Amino acid sequence: MMKMQSRTIMQDSKMHNEIQSSVSIMECYVCGKGLSDGHSISAKTLSNGIVLFCDVHYSMQ
């Protein structure tokens, strides 16, 4: 019971960290432009992980 509970907490914490780190950068993986440059940023999950693209490069993938 105790073991199962701590495993659940660890999984939640890991997932939360992954979301936070991908959101904190918020710039295009290709051109490096971000929200401050007037681009909208979208996340896409590739084989090597979550990658962010601007509106231009997102449609090119």
Q: Which residue is nearest to Zn ion (CB)?
A: 28
Could you give the string, one character per residue 16-55, with x where binding to Zn ion holds by CB under 5 A and - elsewhere? ------------x-xx----------------------x-
Which position has the token pair 């993986």?
A: 29
Which CB sits closer to Zn ion, 19 or 31? 31
Q: At closest approach, how far in Å is the CB of 34 from Zn ion?
A: 9
Write the CB contacts of 27 (distance below 8 Å, at least 6 apart in sequence).
Answer: 33, 34, 41, 52, 54
Cβ pair 51, 29 in contact under 8 A: yes
